[in-house]
Structure 1
Amino acid sequence: MIGEVTGIRKIRMLYLQLLYRCNFECLHCFHGKRLQHADAFTADEAVKLLTLMRELYDTEAVTLLGGEPFVYKDLAQVVRYAKRELGLRVEICTNGYRIERRLTEIAPHLDLLRVSLEGIGSTNDHIRKFGSYQSALSALDVARGLGVRTGATMTVTSRNINEVLPLARTLEHYEVEQLKLHCLRPVGHAADHPELLVTDSAAYVRLRDQLQNAALTIEVIVDEDLSEHGAPDVRAPADGPTEIERIEADPRGALTMSCKAVGRDSHAFWYDKLADHIVHRPSANDELTFEIPNVVYGRA
């Protein structure tokens, strides 16, 4: 259905939000009040969607997230199916809080563990949860011991923009391969915390200069909205066969192509869990009608 409506024939990665439930209530979380909702994929629904994406859109990889994927009881089953049966590259994005036992269980089938951090020590813990910083570092250390490649994500805010470089250096010590920096968008909990927004775009210029002059060994990937003039306006081609980097499925089955539309209920497509197919449900505010641009990433 996506191909018939948009011309898109290949979707490289599925971001699969297995559930809304989380053991954190982060100040910037785009889910906001939905963290309390019970919506979730069953293991059967998850593997059916993965199979559908593999068969119809030649999907090569899946990132499992939530909510918090490590509180999802059937995580190991989904990970094993994605790797063994479908041959997908499997990544997990996690807060890294007390995940060591379950991480050890799935490590043989995991290609990348990506841990979310929001600064050093108390800066991270204030945004996320007390004790979460040390727990995340412990998870990275365990992953290293298990031979699992690791990355990290950070949402840049007014409170942590000065800790991006110190965090990058700390992550180098744990042999983390990549730090991905996201731009904060005022949806979910972030809409209730406008003080987290970076209002001085010159701060982004200083951040980029620091990163470029730091001679880091870790790769730093930056959302290009973290720049003085914002990101270029990049949209999917209007017609003809093409491909996109990713699509995200929320726990209800709503599918979103642009990261800038995630959390805004701007989805034009749904995965119908009962019928096991994708349907087009256009609306006056969907991402196709609004022509919401894609997020552009580049190296710092």
Structure 2
Amino acid sequence: MVSCFKEAMLFETLPSGDVRCGVCARRCVIAPDQTGFCRVRKNVGGVLYTLNYGYVSSEAIDPVEKKPLFHFLPGTTTYSLGTFGCNFSCRHCQNHKISMPGESVYNAMSTESGLSRFGEVVTPDEVVQRALLLDTKSVSFTYNEPAVWFEFIYDTAAAAKENGLYVILVTNGYMTPEALETIAPYVDAYRVDLKSFSDDFYSDICAAHLKPVLNSILKAKELGLHIEIVTLVIPGQNDTVEEAESASSWIVQNIGAETPVHLNAFFPHHQMENVMKTSDSVLEKLRTVYMNAGLDYVYIGNTISEYQNTFCPQCQALLVSRVYTFGESIDLEKDDDGFLCAVCGCRIPIICPGDIDF
């Protein structure tokens, strides 16, 4: 059986024999024979090991718009895959069966036995070959938090870039600056959750904090990654106008008015099954707040809405029409510097290299 044990990157061995992990903003100090918060990184004799290297819990071919990414490789498919474990414990998690899978999975990883009952172990080269065989243009690390799979993602992303594939991280934004700097040369798009603009929300709902997320978004911007931001709007939790004003103002001032933002509808799930679905009227009200703050591209997702489409921020012409996040029609002109509105010539920040037709 292929081993999922691999010496981790970015850790420090302390004089006590504990290790400090440097991949995620928690910076867990882990005692011998123990794991960190994510349960998939273990101190073995003063050396940090990842327990899930190459261990795939889920995979699929998705339209890239499903991530959601609306301004990156539109109309293409992406090979999506994820593992087990997470550095958050969100009460509303949509993928809790793999992000917080239970003791049977953690025990199997810890002992290197029984893994085939729960998933498949692959190599970076196998991931790349699957993506190429399936004629996708990118590889997306998604479904659970990529930070807890850091070593495998690093190796796979490097191999993907060598083979002309683009690399996408779908993340909660809790990587450390040094982790982002390490992996950024092999990553193209950083699709990040801004779950709330309240530290109380992060603490109560996710067992985390807001500031490291904001810092990671700033770092991704500094490193030149394509950024799209998603907020899952949960009734009674993060749906106030005041919070929307704070979040949208911060994005405009720090990341830029051209940053695509997705306001997605919440559906009852996991430990928040008694919370109602987000209404379309609330989503549209908050979208207006974001637009009034100066953002050019604010989308509504997880529900049928005309605001899944891309409109020119200057003349309001319909540029990209979507149905259930699938690109249906694209009306853009192209020059040497990128894309333009076909009606007024406004520059549109969509990334789609010349070797990809749409």
TM-score bin, normalised by smaller chain: 0.5 to 0.7
Q: Choose 1 or 2 for highest CA Rg.
A: 2
Is the 1:15–1:65 contact (alpha carbons within 8 Å) kept by the matching residues of 2? no
Cα drift, residue 21 of structure 1: 0.7
Report the Cα distance in structure 1 between the residues aligned to 2:93 and 2:230, rounded to whole angstroms.
Answer: 13
User: Residue in 2 aligned with 1:183?
Assistant: 265
User: Residue in 1 aligned with 2:192?
Assistant: 115
User: Residue in 2 aligned with 1:216?
Assistant: 294
Report the Cα distance in structure 2 between the residues aligned to 1:295 and 1:193, rounded to whole angstroms.
Answer: 25
Report the Cα distance in structure 1 between the residues aligned to 2:326 and 2:265, rounded to whole angstroms.
Answer: 11
Task: Give yes or no for the alignment of 1:53 onto 2:147.
Answer: no
Q: 1:168 to 1:125 in 2, by over 3 A?
A: farther
Q: Aligned residues, how many?
A: 221
Identity of aligned residues (%): 22
Read off the aligned partner of 1:181 and give its amino acid letter.
Answer: L
Read off the aligned partner of 1:92 and give its amino acid letter.
Answer: L
Is the 1:43–1:77 contact (alpha carbons within 8 Å) kept by the matching residues of 2? no
Read off the aligned partner of 1:16 and give its amino acid letter.
Answer: S
Q: 1:50 to 1:226 in 2, by over 3 A?
A: same
Task: Give yes or no for the alignment of 1:173 onto 2:253.
Answer: yes
User: Residue in 2 aligned with 1:12?
Assistant: 76
Q: How does 1:61-140 map onto structure 2 within 5 Å?
A: 61-72=138-149, 73-85=151-163, 87-121=164-198, 122-131=200-209, 133-140=210-217
Read off the aligned partner of 2:161 and give its amino acid letter.
Answer: K
RMSD of Structure 2 on Structure 1 (CA): 3.3
**Which of 92, 96, 106 is the matching residue for 1:28?**
92
Read off the aligned partner of 2:297 and give its amino acid letter.
Answer: E
User: Residue in 2 aligned with 1:153?
Assistant: 230
User: Residue in 1 aligned with 2:273?
Assistant: 194
Cα drift, residue 48 of structure 1: 2.2
Is the 1:117–1:124 contact (alpha carbons within 8 Å) kept by the matching residues of 2? no
Higher fraction of helix: 1
Is the 1:111–1:149 contact (alpha carbons within 8 Å) kept by the matching residues of 2? yes
Report the Cα distance in structure 1 between the residues aligned to 2:326 and 2:275, rounded to whole angstroms.
Answer: 22
Q: 1:180 to 1:128 in 2, by over 3 A?
A: same
Cα drift, residue 135 of structure 1: 0.6
Unaligned 5+ runs, structure 1 = 3-10, 232-244, 246-292
Is the 2:167–2:187 contact (alpha carbons within 8 Å) kept by the matching residues of 1? yes
Cα drift, residue 15 of structure 1: 5.1
Is the 2:267–2:278 contact (alpha carbons within 8 Å) kept by the matching residues of 1? no
User: Residue in 2 aligned with 1:251?
Assistant: none
Is the 2:131–2:138 contact (alpha carbons within 8 Å) kept by the matching residues of 1? no
Structure 1 window deviating more from structure 2 (105-114 vs 28-37): it is 28-37
Q: 1:295 to 1:150 in 2, by over 3 A?
A: closer
Q: 1:215 to 1:98 in 2, by over 3 A?
A: closer
Cα drift, residue 215 of structure 1: 5.0
Read off the aligned partner of 1:111 and give its amino acid letter.
Answer: D
Report the Cα distance in structure 1 between the residues aligned to 2:183 and 2:159, rounded to whole angstroms.
Answer: 11
Read off the aligned partner of 1:184 and give its amino acid letter.
Answer: F
Q: 1:129 to 1:145 in 2, by over 3 A?
A: same
Report the Cα distance in structure 1 between the residues aligned to 2:295 and 2:165, rounded to whole angstroms.
Answer: 28
Q: What secondary structure is seen at the aligned counterpart in 1 of 2:263?
A: strand
Unaligned 5+ runs, structure 2 = 1-59, 61-74, 106-117, 309-321, 329-358
